[in-house]
Amino acid sequence: MKRNTFFAFASPSVIIMLLLMVVPLAIALWLGFHYMTFRNIAAPEWVGLRNYSDVLADTRFWRSFNFTALYTAIVVPSWVVIGFIIALFLDQVSGFVRGVYMSIFLLPFITVPIIATIMFKQLWEPSGLLTWLYQQLSGTRFRMNETSVKTLIVFFGIWYVTPFTIVVYFAGLQTLPQEMIEAASIDGAGRLQKIRHIVIPYVSSLTVFILLFSIMDSYRVFDSVYVLSGLNPQFKADTVMTYTFSTAVQVQRLGKANAMSILTVIGIMVVLIPFLRLMYKEQIAER
Amino acid sequence: MDPITSRAGRRFVHFVLLSFTVYSLVPFVWTGMQSFKTVKDAFSRKPLLLFEPTLQNYQEVWIRRVPDNAEAIGLGILLVVALLVGLLLSARHLPVNNRLVYGFCLAGFGLLLWAIPQLIYMQKFYDYFINTLIVTACTIVISISIGCLAGYSLARYAGLAAVVILIAALAFRALPRLAFVLPYYWIGSLLNLLDTGLLVVVALVAVNQPFTIWMLRSFFMEVPKDLEESAMVDGANRLQSFLRVIVPVAWPGIISTALFTLLLAYNEFLLVRVLTQSNWTLPVAISRYTGNESADELTLAAAASVSATLPIIVVILYFQKHLVKGLSAGAVKG
C-alpha cells in the first residue's frame, strides 16, 4: 500500500484520536495548573503547581492509591488462577454441554458492570440471600463497614472478570498440539505433571497478555466501587478513579482532579513504557 | 489435554463445572426473584425462595399510567413483535432479497418503539432506553466505519507511521477514561454541548477507537493479500476493492468488533455520568435506584436491572461465536 493511500484510509480515525485523545490530554495538563470549580469554568485561575502539591500531600489520595494497589494485587492473580483451572475443566467436556457451560460462564462478563454490581449487591442487602446465609453460618450480623465493603469490591472484581480469562485460556488450550501430550503420556507423566511441564509453559504467552490487560483494567476500576461503596467516605474504599471522580464532581475541585489524572497517566506510562518498547520492536521486525 | 475417562473423574469434572455454574448464576437468579416480589416479600427477614410472583415492579419501572384498554394494546404489541421476529428468523428461506427483509424488520421495530409512548403513558425509563439504543447504534456505525478504514490500512501499510500509530493507540488504550472525560466536560461546557447525545457519541467513538483499530487490524491481516490485488488488476481502485472484496471476506471479524463496541457503548457509565445531566443512558439511570435505602427501590432496581440486561443477553447469545472468537483473536495470536 502506498503512503498516500495509507494516510487517506487512516486519517478519519487518526484525526479523531488526535482531536479527542491527544488534545484533551494537553487540556488536562493545562487545567491541572488552574484553580477551577463549576462556577469559574470559563475563566480558570492560574495557580501553578499548587494542585500537584495538594494531591501529593492528600492522605485520602494515598489511601485510595493503596487500596487500588491492594485490589490489583488480589484480583489479578485470582483471575489468572481461577480462569486457568476452569478452562482446564471446560476442556474436558465437549459439544452442546460445553456450549451451555460457556454461555453461562460468560454471563457476568457481558452484563453492564453497573448492573452486575447492583445484582451482586442485592445478595448482600439486609434482606439478601447471602446476608442471611452469612448470619446463619457465622452467627453474627452482616453489616456494611470498611472491611465488608472492601471485601465485596474484591469479590465482585473476581466474579466479574474471570469469564474473560476462562475464554482466553480455553481458546489457547484448543490449539495445544496433541503430540506433546501423547509423548508425555508415553513417558509416563501424570496429569498434574503434564499440566505443569507442558500446558503452563504452552499458555505462558497468553498469561502475559492476560496480565497486561488485567493490570490495565484493574487499576481503572470504577463502576463496582461506585455502587458498592456509594462513594461514602466512611467505608474508606476509594480507588484512585473514584477519588478523582469525587474530587471533580462532588467537591468541585476540577483543577485538582485534572492534576490527579495527569499523575495517574504519568504513573501508567512509567510502567507501560518497557512494554510499549517491546511491542514497537516486535512490530518493526514483523513488517 | 487428554480426556479424563474414569467414572469418578468424570463426576468430579461435572461437579466442578456445575458448582461454577451456580457461582456464576446466583446474583442473576436472586435479582430475578427479587424483581418479581412484592416489597413485603422482598424484605422478609428469611429469604423467600417460594413466593407469589407479581409484575408490579416491572410495571412501575416502565409505565406511568396503565391505560384502560391495556389488554388490547399489550396483545397488539406482542403480535407485532412476534410477526417481526418470525420474519427475521425466516428471512433466509423467503424468496425475497434478505436485505429487504432485514430493512423492513428494522423499520418495523423502529416504528413500534415510536408508537408505544403514543399509546401508553410511559416512565422516563423508556426514554433512557430509547436514548441508549440511539447512542449505541450511532457509536457502532461511526466507530466501525472509520475503524475499518484505519484497521485495513494499518494491516497493509508497512511504513513507520503505521507502527507509531499502533503503539500510540495501545498507550491510549491503557489510560483511564477520566483523563479524557474531564477535559471533554470542560470543552462541552464551553461549547454548550453538555447533556447532548452528540457529545456522548463522539466521546464514545474516540475512547473506543484504539481498541477498535487493533482488533479490526488483526482480522484484516488474516485476509490474503492476493484478493485485493486480483481485484485491482481487474481495474477496481483501492476503495472499491476494499468495499467489494475485503469487507465481505472480513465480515465475521467486523461483526465481532461491532459486538465489542456494542458492549462498550451500552456499558459505559463514567463518561455518560459526567457529560450528561438528564439525557442519560440506562447504566446511569439505573444507578439512581441505588442511592437511597428506601424500601421499594430495592425491587425496582431489580426489575430495572433485569429489563436492561435481557436485551443484551439475547443479542450476545445469538452472536456468541463471534464474541468468543473476538476474545480469543488477539490473545491466541499474541
**What is the pLDDT at residue B330?**
57
Name chain A contacts of B186, Cβ cutoff 8 Å.
27, 31, 41, 254
Interface of A with B in 61-120 (CB under 8 A): 86, 88-93, 99, 101-108, 110-116, 118-120
Is the pLDDT confidence value at B161 over 80? yes
**What is the pLDDT at residue B292?**
54
In the predicted model, what is the mean pLDDT of residues B63-72?
A: 88
> Distance (Å, rounded) from C-alpha A83 to C-alpha A90?
10
In the predicted model, what is the mean pLDDT of residues B71-89?
A: 91
User: Is there a contact between A112 and B147 if contact means CB atoms under 8 Å apart?
Assistant: no
CATH for B124-333? 1.10.3720.10
In this predicted model, what pLDDT tens digit does every residue of A94-146 receive, in sequence order?
889 998 999 999 999 999 999 999 999 999 988 889 999 999 999 888 988 99
Q: Are strands B63-65 and B121-122 parallel, antiparallel or unpaired?
A: antiparallel
| Dihedral sign from CA coordinates of B18, B19, B25, B31 | positive
A13–B contact, CB cutoff 8 A = yes
Closest residue of B to A247, CA-based? B182
ipTM: 0.91
* φ, ψ at B36 (rounded to 5°): -100, 10
Cβ neighbours, 10 Å, residue B99: 9
The alpha helices in chain A, defined as continuous H runs, are: 3-17, 23-31, 50-56, 59-90, 95-110, 113-122, 129-138, 146-174, 178-186, 191-194, 200-202, 204-218, 223-229, 240-249, 254-286
Distances from the Cα of B316 to the Cα of A114, B80, B133, B323, B327, angstroms: 18, 23, 15, 7, 13
Residue A55, all three cell numbers: 494531591
Closest residue of B to A266, CA-based? B175
A29–B contact, CB cutoff 8 A = no
> Distance (Å, rounded) from C-alpha A30 to C-alpha B186?
12
In this predicted model, what pLDDT tens digit does every residue of B274-307 receive, in sequence order?
999 999 999 999 988 876 555 568 889 999 999 9
**What is the pLDDT at residue B210?**
93
> Distance (Å, rounded) from C-alpha B152 to C-alpha A285?
19
Question: Higher confidence at residue B201 or residue B40?
Answer: B201
Distances from the Cα of A266 to the Cα of A160, A260, B107, B191, angstroms: 28, 10, 48, 29
Name chain B contacts of A172, Cβ cutoff 8 Å.
328, 331-332
Strands (E), chain B: 63-65, 121-122
A35, β-bridge pairs = A45
Interface of A with B in 221-240 (CB under 8 A): 222-223, 226-227, 230
Mutate which: A82, A105, A110, vs B, most B CBs within 10 A: A110
At A35, which helix (H) or strand (E)? strand A34-35
Give the mean pLDDT of chain B.
89
User: Is there a contact between B26 and A199 if contact means CB atoms under 8 Å apart?
Assistant: no
Distance from CA of A145 to the nearest CA of B (A): 16
Domain ranges of chain A: 52-286
When CB atoms are compared, the residue of B1, B210, B286 closest to A88 is: B1
DSSP annotation string for B52-119: ----HHHHHHHEEE--TTHHHHHHHHHHHHHHHHHHHHTGGGSSS-HHHHHHHHHHHHHHHHHHHHHH
**Per-residue model confidence as pLDDT tens for chain A (287 residues):** 788 989 999 999 999 999 999 999 999 999 999 999 988 888 899 999 999 999 999 999 999 999 999 999 999 999 999 999 999 999 999 889 998 999 999 999 999 999 999 999 999 988 889 999 999 999 888 988 999 999 999 999 999 999 999 999 998 998 888 888 888 888 888 889 999 999 999 999 889 888 988 888 888 899 999 999 988 888 999 999 999 999 999 989 999 999 999 999 999 899 889 888 988 998 888 77
- Residues in CB range of A63: below 8 A, 6 or more apart: A236, A238
Domain ranges of chain B: 71-119, 124-333
CATH of A52-286, one of 3.60.130.10, 1.10.3720.10, 3.40.50.700, 3.30.390.30: 1.10.3720.10
Is the pLDDT confidence value at B333 over 50? no
User: Is there a contact between B328 and A249 if contact means CB atoms under 8 Å apart?
Assistant: no
> Distance (Å, rounded) from C-alpha B58 to C-alpha B32?
11
Interface of A with B in 136-175 (CB under 8 A): 159, 163-164, 167-168, 170-173, 175
